[in-house]
Amino acid sequence: MAFTEAKLIIASMPGFLGLTLSRGIENESEYLLLVEWESVEAHELGFRGSPEYERWRELLHRFYEPFPVVTHFAPIAAS
């Protein structure tokens, strides 16, 4: 599975904290990929600027059209 290999790539990156892949209940063709990073820089400069990101793209970018919205969040409360 492409995601299994892609997960190994992203998990090896500096600043990676974890990820969750969820499938929509009402719309099973929708997915949510939540990736946790130590910082925006770890994602934008580290991962996206790395050679490993090119392999990630090769594995996963064929699965989505249009390109997914990428938004960064900072936690304000936790359970």
In the chain, the domains with their CATH numbers are: 2-63 (3.30.70.100)
Q: Which pTM was predicted?
A: 0.86
Q: Give the three-state DSSP class for 35.
A: strand
pLDDT reported for residue 43: 97
pLDDT reported for residue 64: 84
pLDDT reported for residue 57: 93
| Cα distances (Å, whole numbers) of residue 46 to 3, 7, 13, 28, 74 | 20, 16, 8, 32, 18
For each successive 10 residues of the chain (79 residues), what is the average pLDDT? 95 97 94 95 97 95 86 90
**Structure token digits, residue 46:** 């580290």
pLDDT reported for residue 67: 82
Question: Computed over its alpha carbons, how large is the radius of gyration of the chain?
Answer: 13
Q: Are 13 and 46 in contact (CB under 8 A)?
A: yes
Contacts of 67 (CB under 8 A, 6+ apart): 61
